[in-house]
Amino acid sequence: MDLTPVLDGFAVVLEPTNLLYCLLGVVIGMLIGVLPGLGPAATIAVLLPLTFSVEPVTAIILLAGIFYGAQYGGTITSVLLRLPGEASSVVTVFDGYALARRGRAGTALGIAAIGSFIGGTVAIVAMTFVAPLVAGFALDFGPPEYTALALLGILLVATVSGGGKVKALVAAAIGLLLATVGRDGFTGAERFTFDSLALSDGLDFVPIAMGLFGLGEILHNLEQRHRAVSAPARVTDVWPSRKDLRTASGAFGRGSVIGFALGVLPGGGATLSSLAAYGVEKRRSKHPERFGNGAVEGVAAPETANNAAATSSFIPLLTLGIPANATMAVIFGALLIQGVTPGPLLVSEDPELFWGVVNSMYIGNILLLIMSIPMVGVFVKILRVRATILAPITVLITLVGVYTVNNSVFDIGLVVVFGALGYLMKKLGFEPGPLVLAFVLGAMLETSLRRSLLLFGGDPAGFLARPISGVLLTAFLAVVLLPLVAALWRRRRRAPAEDRVKETL
């Protein structure tokens, strides 16, 4: 492997402007992680217009910093207030808050900070070597392979998303439908435009993301913030003892591996990784009853895993052009707006951007470790700011920002419409993530599918004749059929047991 582009990437990130934006991204991410409910996807969507005036590499460094910075920010309220600021920090509540109630809040936050640093750093090192290999492998991808990959990505995201599989699939179907709005790229026919010139070029990603994640989340959070919040626990003795570090060392290693592996998969992400890592530690423990009552491993494992996953999720985005989760979908939109097309050619054609973004994560993780503990007091004070003050400011930034993209009043109307849709989805238990991901992947899926059918003369069996697309479609069928087979197996096993019960009666 030629390390020259990697070293050149450090030269890019060490430029004063890029360092400043890396620091800014990490700080904003931590702040957003502290504020329950808003999340990195919503924040990045709101801040998209602010990145238009800077270089692409600077913009993505900022947005990446927000993403992995938010993973630790959510830990602070999970430990101190039993209030997860991020979905990936829900598992940390179990043992983090229990430690805080025993007067060990500082230990929990210290373990979380160290775990976040280790998980992120391990994932970045692995990403440095794995991402170019994935990009080289992806050069063999043609329309059939991208069709199968997009289809598998949409299905995986939908089936592992929160809110239930059926609801996630419905949301993904709506996203695919929205992706068809506008002129047909092959025939020029208009679809679902209702004779509107504003819709003839299709729906823009920015109003959809800002509406669903920005305005929709704000409306939902205002409704949820009527419950009282308890006073935060005191933070003392932040640095963990040697005993705590020895106890957590295995969890650090296993959490890094689990987080990296699941973060690469579409739909894996930080939340699933933290759950999986916590479950592994509890099963391995000789005293599983400690978990939920203040086990140090119960904080170390999920915090290491969610940061590793947040980093590794950039691999499919940058090398394949496939966003692995909702936040990656928003960053994908930011790259396209900046004129950068993610994919296998990005490593070779724009190495400064690729390695600049990757290497910025080394710096960002160090900044995160340095700032995480000293700024705890500041972050806790932010929780006392009323939502009625923060919400109007955020809404104003959202509407002004979306107008500046195309100078279009129609886009403001779209934000309002999708904001109402996002609010209703949250109320009814639908996650907006599968919708946005399906919308992003929908155009790729349709274009690749139609090109593939032209290539195969209309014969769909051609997908199975190619090795890569055949394997991906087999994986797709496995994801679809395995739950059905498992349900039938459980039903068959249950039937004889019920018959025996009837016979005894």
**Residue 33 to residue 88: CA distance in whole angstroms:** 10
pLDDT beneath 50: ranges in the chain: 227-229
**Pick from 36, 39, 89: nearest CA to 433:** 39
Task: Please report the pLDDT score of residue 38 as a whole number.
Answer: 62
**The two structure tokens encoding residue 483:** 């739950």
pLDDT at residue number 20: 92
C-beta of residue 328 within 8 angstroms of C-beta of residue 313 = yes
Residue 324: predicted pLDDT: 72
Query: How many Å is the Cα radius of gyration of the chain?
Result: 23
Nearest residue to 296 (alpha-carbon basis) of 280, 284, 281: 281
Cβ atoms of 330 and 436 closer than 8 Å: yes
pLDDT of amino acid 158 = 64
Q: Secondary structure of 365-416 in the HEC alphabet?
A: HHHHHHHHCCCHHHHHHHCCCCHHHHHHHHHHHHHHHHHHHHCCHHHHHHHH
286 CB-near residues (< 8 Å, 6+ apart)? none
- pLDDT given at position 228: 46
Asked if residues 67 and 331 have their Cβ atoms less than 8 Å apart, the reply is yes
pTM beyond 0.75? no
Residue 223 has a CB neighbour count (10 Å cut-off) of 12
**Model pLDDT for residues 282-296, shown as the tens digit of each residue:** 888 888 888 878 888
Write out the two tokens for 276. Answer: 């999986």
Under the phi-then-psi rule, with left for phi > 0, alpha for psi from -120 to 50, and beta for the rest, what region is 18? Answer: alpha
**Residue 183: its H or E element:** strand 182-183
H or E segment to which residue 191 belongs: strand 190-191
Residues 255, 305 contacting (CB under 8 angstroms): yes
What's phi and psi for 311, nearest 5 deg? -75, -50
Distance CA 15, CA 425 (A): 42
Backbone phi, psi, residue 473, to 5°: -70, -35
Q: What are phi and psi of 338, to 5 degrees?
A: -80, 0
What is the helix, strand, coil percentage profile of the chain, to 5? 75, 0, 25
How many C-beta atoms lie closer than 10 Å to residue 316's C-beta? Answer: 25
Collapse the DSSP code of 50 into the 3-class scheme (helix H, G, I; strand E, B; otherwise coil) and give the result.
helix
Query: Taking a C-beta distance cutoff of 8 angstroms, is the pair 120, 358 a contact?
Result: no
> What is the per-residue pLDDT across 17-52, written as a single tens digit (0 to 9) for each?
999 999 998 888 887 776 655 667 777 777 777 777
Residue with tokens 């210290």: 110
SS3 call for 334: helix
pLDDT of the residue at 8: 82
